Structure 1
Amino acid sequence: MAALNLSVPASKAEAIANPINVKTSIVHSTKNLEAASSVFFQPIWITSLVPTMMLYFASRAFQPKHKKDVLAFKGTVVGIVALLSLIVGFVTTFYVSQFLGYHFPDSPLISLFLAIATFAFIMLFSGVIAWIGIPGVVIFALLMFFSLPLMVMAPQMLPQAYQDYFLPWLPMRFLYEGIREILYFKAGFLNQNTWSLIIVAGIGLLMFFLETFGKRHQKTFI
């Protein structure tokens, strides 16, 4: 414009000086829930591990006389776990709301999702511990301590090998991502992570009931 000796009208000067208009819009507002997706993991994981140990010791004291006795006992355990999971889901949401100051727009939805996660974790723990015993408790306890600091990081900040081979198989990832989808992206109860947790629960149930036919029970059967 200077080379062509063009004059600039006063009405156009501001548009030329600031050619880009920036408009900021908030998408998926977090409000006061910035770190809410990470506060559920530890209570749910530990709460799932403790009753698993108690039920395991109860099963060790049980003396069945037939496979059907073991199956009936395991069926009772699953019923207890289902009821306990519902209680844990709602109590955990109440705890986080009352003591940590989070206010969720749909607490029953979150509580039901946490109940599914609790059931999945307890059944997974029970299935593994039924086969290998107390060392399974150590494995899941160590998994919690080593995974906790990594789960709160963005996946892109983790080593590529961890992203490709380790992260996809962590069961607690479905809890993290499911809560995130519900809180920040308005996902419904049956989102992708809910189905993943149902699959985890199914795997745990299968291992739990298949243990009925393992060597440990053979000596007690008539």
Structure 2
Amino acid sequence: GANPIAANAAGQIVNQGANPIAANAAGQIVNQVVDHINHQFREEIMTGFEKQGKTLTVKQAAALSSPVAKTVEQVNETGEHSANGNAPVSLVQPLWIASIAGALIVYTALRKWRFSNGRAALLSRFLQGLTGAVLAVAAGYSLVWIAADWVGISIPQIHDTALFIAICYFSFYLMITAVTSWIGFPGAGLFGLLFFFGTPLLTMAPEMMPAFYRGWFYSWLPMRFASDGLRDLLFFNKGLSMNQPVSVLLSIGAVSFLVLLASSLKNHAVSKEAGIKML
């Protein structure tokens, strides 16, 4: 009759670019499940043959060794030169630190200036924004050049990646500058804490996080949108477009710039009350 032992195929598609750690974990889980199924099949088939007093042919024994065959298809592979798939996070870390450093340097320099009226204070805020735009372009191309030539990270779309990093830097810079303009240097400390507590989450898949971190922390983490955008550019072969990461980052930058401009009115009012005009 028909061969009672036949090999079946269990297909697995691994989206490595989405999150290498989650992809590897999913692959291990699938392997364990298939191995368990194969073990159960072998036990049941062997028990059936023993009850019937039959022996296995060579072909049947070969099929019995692995009744369910595993096939793995890798999509959006990260490649060899991707810091083990962590290239987006590796780029976001220096980007965030550079944003804090740039914002504090410009804030410290302008803080020493004296202004005769509120218009001059407002112009200083525009100067802070313009300086940040120049720093953003420089940071974008510098970081891509260092990552590609010095570190050896594969960056398939040089200009799109550099411009996206510039958008990230400018958004972060404006956000940090706006906060420090209102509450001073302690504001930069908040972003330092955000770096230490937020960066580890970038390497995790949202499904693997505790519900609290996923809903109340990761969902609005600014660095998360930078990391997502870089994954699209590095691993998904997507060009720079008005996608969700870019839209969110531009919105953060726009709101931060308005808050920065509003801080000039606050500082001018304080200076007028004290009888001096300063930033």
2:75 is matched with: 27
Alpha-carbon RMSD: 2.4
Using structure 1 for the length normalisation, give the TM-score. Answer: 0.87
Q: 1:26 is paired with a residue of what secondary structure?
A: strand
1:59, distance to aligned residue in structure 2 (A): 2.4
Equivalent position to 1:64, from 93, 106, 115: 115
**Alignment partner for residue 259 of structure 2, among 189, 207, 213?**
207
Taking the TM superposition and a 5 Å limit, the aligned residue runs for 1:108-123 are 108-123=159-174
Structure 1: distance between partners of 2:72 and 2:220? 37
Q: Secondary structure at the match of 1:25?
A: strand
**What is the alpha-carbon distance in structure 1 between the residues aligned to residue 228 and residue 139 of structure 2?**
19
* Further displaced range: 56-65 or 131-140: 56-65
Per the alignment, residue 33 of structure 2 pairs with none
Q: Secondary structure at the match of 1:31?
A: coil
8 A Cα contact 2:122 2:265, kept in partner: no
Q: Percent identity at matched positions?
A: 30
Q: Counting strand residues as a fraction of each chain, which structure ranks higher?
A: 2
Identify the residue that residue 161 of structure 1 maps to in structure 2.
212
Tell me, which stretches of 5 or more residues in structure 1 are unaligned? 3-11
Structure of higher CA gyration radius = 2
| Pairing partner for 1:48 from 99, 119, 124 | 99
C-alpha deviations, 1:7-55, integer Å up to 9, x for none?
xxxxx989x8788776543311211222211111121011111121111
Q: State how many pairs are aligned.
A: 214
Structure 2 unmatched runs, 5+? 5-58
Moved over 2 A (4+): 16-26
Aligned to 1:168, the other structure's residue is in SS state helix
Q: Which residue of 2 aligns with 1:195?
A: 247
* Length-normalised TM-score, structure 2: 0.70
**Counterparts of 1:23 and 1:156, CA distance in 2:** 24
Paired position in structure 2 for 1:171: 222
Contact 2:175 2:253 (C-alpha < 8 Å) held by counterparts = yes
| 3-state SS of 1:39 partner | helix
Task: Give the distance between the partners of 2:154 and 2:193, measured in 1 at CA.
Answer: 31
1:73 matched to which residue of 2?
124
